[in-house]
Amino acid sequence: MNTEDGNKFQKIYEKERKIIEPKIKNVLKGRKPASLYEPSEYILDSTGKRLRPLLVIASAKACGLNYKDVYNSAIAVELLHIFTLVHDDIMDNADKRRNKVTVHKKYDLSTAILVGDILLAEAYNVLLKDGRGDFGKIAKAFTRALTEVCEGQSLDKDFETEKSVSLADYIKMVEKKTAALCAMCCTIGALLANADDKTIRAMYNYGKNIGIAFQIQDDLLDITGNVKEFGKNTGGDLLEGKKTFLFITALQRAAGKDKTALLKVIKNKGITPGEIETYEKLYYKLGVIDDAKDSINKYTKIAVKNLKVLKNNEDIEYFTWLADSLIKRSK
């Protein structure tokens, strides 16, 4: 893709992000009680990529609808996503998210649990508003993704205490924890537009595979990310002893002293901040940074292959650009 096209698509993305952004931020505005809705507005007020709502809009557009027809569903998927972030941050005992203090740290545990719950409630509330497509199918796809996200988070928590996690286990976890939601976004975009089954399946597979690529990229950014752009400190996954793509691949590749060092992370359930640099260097030495990049490219290619079902070439190019820019992202 040439730079000109890239710039064009970037402009479309930004334009749509700017339309959807205030709608997300204001979805709970002025509601009471303040003890519930102010912390909810606090977390909605952080500026994210809004990838998921833009997937809904792009998918619906590729199947013949305007963003105005589907923006409630677009808001719904972001609310579902933020619900998972708020609850996950409690479980991961995270301090920061998108450059802001996490809800449970800024307020308290009870507030953070309830904020997550109300965001999910509101997600269903707005999902019911567009009134297009087969609502039963849309709600089912939405609920399936919610179920998978919970299962994925549970698998991810299991990994913390499991001595051995294979790359296949990891991918299975990521399919649920991250990819299911992206797949759902593309699916409901198509469902809202009453697309045929073949298109719905293709959009589902596109979303699923960019979701997997996205998560591996996320694991990668935990090491290669720029603190300011990434919005949190690097090495966080190592501190927590997380079985990321990098860690699992490193353990497969390592021998001798390197292997002992990695096994120590499992045994101690993480490392200390002072050790981060050592382990980052080990990742580079073992070549797992390149492994991650290869995998990201692989899943992105699979994603893009599904796009041939789309009729309009510009839609194919937009989705291709989107997949490509996710690989190149720094946050």
- Pick 146 or 282: Cβ nearer its own copies: 146
Least distance in Å: CB of 127 to its own copies?
A: 9
Which pair of structure tokens corresponds to residue 238?
């190592």
- Pick 120 or 250: Cβ nearer its own copies: 120
Least distance in Å: CB of 11 to its own copies?
A: 36
- Pick 44 or 220: Cβ nearer its own copies: 44
Question: Counting Cβ atoms within 10 Å, is residue 110 exposed (0-12), middle (13-18) or buried (19+)?
Answer: exposed
Least distance in Å: CB of 47 to its own copies?
A: 25
Binding residues for its own copies, per CB under 8 A? Answer: 32-33, 35-36, 87, 90-91, 109-111, 113-114, 116-118, 120-122, 124-125, 128, 131, 135-136, 139-140, 142-144, 146-147, 150-151, 153-155, 157-158
Contact 41, 28 (CB under 8 A): yes
Contact 296, 217 (CB under 8 A): yes
- Residue 128's nearest CA partner among 118, 115, 142 is 142
- Pick 164 or 312: Cβ nearer its own copies: 164
- Residue 220's nearest CA partner among 238, 207, 208 is 238
Least distance in Å: CB of 37 to its own copies?
A: 8
86 alpha-carbon distance from chain centroid: 13
Least distance in Å: CB of 256 to its own copies?
A: 33
Contact 319, 304 (CB under 8 A): yes
Least distance in Å: CB of 265 to its own copies?
A: 20
Measured distance CA(232)–CA(99) in Å, rounded: 6
Question: Counting Cβ atoms within 10 Å, is residue 35 exposed (0-12), middle (13-18) or buried (19+)?
Answer: exposed
- Pick 48 or 116: Cβ nearer its own copies: 116
Measured distance CA(60)–CA(202) in Å, rounded: 13
